[in-house]
Amino acid sequence: MLDTTPRNDWTRPEIAALFDLPFADLIFRAQGVHRAVFDPNQVQISTLLSIKTGGCPEDCAYCPQSAHHQTGLKATKLMEFEEVMAQATAARAAGATRYCMGAAWRNPKNHELDQVCRMVEGVNALGMETCVTLGMLTAGQSRRLKEAGLDYYNHNIDTSEGYYGQVITTRGFADRLETLAHVREAGIAVCCGGIVGMGETRDDRVGMILTLATLPRHPESVPINLLTQIAGTRLHGIETLDTLELVRTIAAARIVMPRSMVRLSAGREGLSDEGQALCFLAGANSIFFGAKLLTAANPGEDRDTALFEKLKITPMPLAG
């Protein structure tokens, strides 16, 4: 029997050795861990809605919502409660069991947080898990979201600590970890991963996984995003990452964080069915369902449904 007890003492050489395994050996090990914990033929379906788009003061090099970039994206105000609920209801009808809401803020103001908390309460009442991503939070704001019934808070570290400054300069890596600590202390489950294909090295990908795997408690959800290149952002035109390197990153995440949901997140639009199948084989067991991720394209529901049918994958039921 495989030991799938989570470890928090992973070392950089150990994770680097995973990345360096022959591909078949790496996939075999990741699939063994995956099968020991999860049903290998089930994938969690989540839906992501941008409830406040554009105008963000952060300078994240990949993001079309940054006010530092000229992408033609029009900034919007926070969506009305009724519109959010209508879209959440439609997502539930389409099979989503988790509803994620994102707002392009550096950090929310308290009156804005009150409006988001009402949305969280409304989505909870529909019987779906709730997740939000709102930027940095204080300890008090984290507790307020917990009181509203929030299940997950997403706050990605994006990349390794060493490469972070090449991607973002308006806040530090430590700021990310501070928000994660506030969320965890409030009793909210953590959704935290990163982005590959931003010009980082394999060692940076090792470092990103190392940071996640050595947190005091592994994130319950680990999204692995493949950079979606958007014209007008600083990373537009960068060399595309090989799909097999994305698969290796997912496999390493599955092995070192065996009980986490590993989400094949942004970038699926550019992957072939075969590439996505390899990601599922490597241990990815969660996707976003719907034609858009915040502002980036995502495979249409028809394509995802057809892929699931070909692979004999079924949506994961809501826990409990």
Give the three-class secondary structure for 60: coil
Of the pLDDT bands very low, low, confident and very high (cuts 50, 70, 90), residue 1 is low
Per DSSP, which regions of the chain are E strands?
A: 42-52, 98-103, 129-133, 152-154, 189-191, 194-196, 221-226, 261-264, 286-288, 292-293, 296-297, 314-315
Catalytic residue among 29, 98, 263, 268: 263
pLDDT at 299: 56
CA proximity to 168, closest of 95, 73, 243, 59: 59
Q: What is the mean pLDDT of the chain?
A: 89
Catalytic residue among 63, 117, 192, 279: 63
What distance in Å separates the CA atoms of residue 63 and residue 294, rounded to the nearest whole number?
Answer: 10
Q: In this predicted model, what pLDDT tens digit does every residue of 148-201 receive, in sequence order? A: 999 999 999 999 999 999 999 998 999 999 999 999 999 999 999 999 999 999
The pLDDT of residue 69: 67
Phi, psi of 152 (to 5 degrees): -130, 145
Residue type for 188, please?
I
Neighbours of 32 (CB within 10 A): 15
Which listed residue (117, 131, 192, 279) is catalytic?
131
Annotated active-site residue in 98, 144, 171, 191: 191
The pLDDT confidence band at residue 294, using thresholds 50, 70 and 90, is: very low
The per-residue pLDDT for range 270-284, each reduced to its tens digit, is 889 999 999 999 999
- The token pair at 226 is 């493949």
Q: Name the active-site residue from 98, 100, 144, 248.
A: 100
- pLDDT tens per residue, range 209-246: 999 999 999 999 999 999 988 888 888 889 899 999 99
> Which of 56, 117, 192, 279 is flagged as catalytic?
56
Measured from the Cβ of residue 141, the count of other Cβ atoms closer than 10 Å reads 22
The residue type at 240: T
Q: Is residue 117 annotated as a catalytic residue, yes or no?
A: no
Contacts of 136 (CB under 8 A, 6+ apart): 106, 107, 155, 171, 175, 178, 179
Residues 6+ apart with CB under 8 A from 289: 45, 46, 47, 91, 94, 95, 96, 301, 304
Domains of the chain: 29-305 (3.20.20.70)
**Annotated catalytic residue within 29, 60, 171, 205:** 60
192 is catalytic: no
Residue of 213, 216, 179, 178 lying closest to 193 (CA atoms): 213
**One-letter-per-residue 3-state SS of 97-133:** CEEEEEECCCCCCHHHHHHHHHHHHHHHHCCCEEEEE
* Per-residue pLDDT at 298: 52
Does 56 qualify as catalytic in the annotation?
yes
Tell me the pLDDT band of 292, cut-offs 50, 70 and 90: very low
What pTM did the predictor assign? 0.89
Judge whether 191 counts as a catalytic residue.
yes
Give CA–CA dist 173/177, Å, rounded: 7
Does the annotation mark 100 as catalytic? Answer: yes
